[in-house]
Chain A
Amino acid sequence: DIQMTQSPSSVSASVGDRVTITCRASQGIASWLAWYQQKPGKAPKFLIYAASSLQSGVPSRFSGSESGTDFTLTISSLQPEDFATYYCQQANSLPRTFGQGTKVEIK
């Protein structure tokens, strides 16, 4: 199985801050990576696919990048509605696996 390791597990930030979350794959997955946002009591929301492509309707303050087996989700200017938990998911091979999540909290 491909293990996905996210860091940090939580981050405290203020509105307007730039936030960066990292996801490392245990082996090469090319660009087969997605990011999801989950708010308490809600289903995950699909944000980014193919490491850096924004899903339709997702604000442009969200962006994704990759470097080898390291992937990054960046929120350029944190908004109140962005406080949530973020998960990465590798889409390269079965079984499909997720990172353990990064909680973005209000400072």
Chain B
Amino acid sequence: QVQLQESGPGLVKPSGTLSLTCAVSGGSISSDNWWSWVRQPPGKGLEWIGEIYHSGSTNYNPSLKSRVTISVDKSKNQFSLKLSSVTAADTAVYYCARILSNYFDYWGQGTLVSVSS
């Protein structure tokens, strides 16, 4: 059973960089899957941020592409998200998820990141 666990600061200052890590257990990050970040502002819907393959190939949402970097660390079986120049609009629960055949089949529990001074 694959499990994903997000970690990182719960508070980021405006104009700063949001950094989160997703640790994968019960499976290898080098499997034939993409690994993704999805966010959900309080009381709102789901927004795909981007994804990475173990080779390092990435896909990003065009709406966030200029500010997003997703990386993978195969030695630690984890992948990470960096979102720069954050504003209050980036306050959300951030989920990491595994992608199987274009569907999000396993999700982390999510972590709330607030952007505030």
Contact = CB atoms under 8 A, between A and B. Distances in A.
- For the side of the interface on B, what is the size category? 20 to 34
A96 B48 contact: yes
B67 to A, nearest CB: 15
A89 B104 contact: yes
A11 B55 CA distance: 44
Contacts of A95: 48, 59, 61-63
A49 B103 contact: yes
Interface residues of A, number: 23
Given A87-B45, A98-B48, A99-B45, A44 B104 contact: yes
B108 A43 contact: yes
A60 B95 CA distance: 27
B105 to A, nearest CB: 5
In the A-B complex, the 4 residue pairs with the smallest Cβ-Cβ separation, listed nearest first, are A91-B102, A43-B107, A96-B48, A98-B46
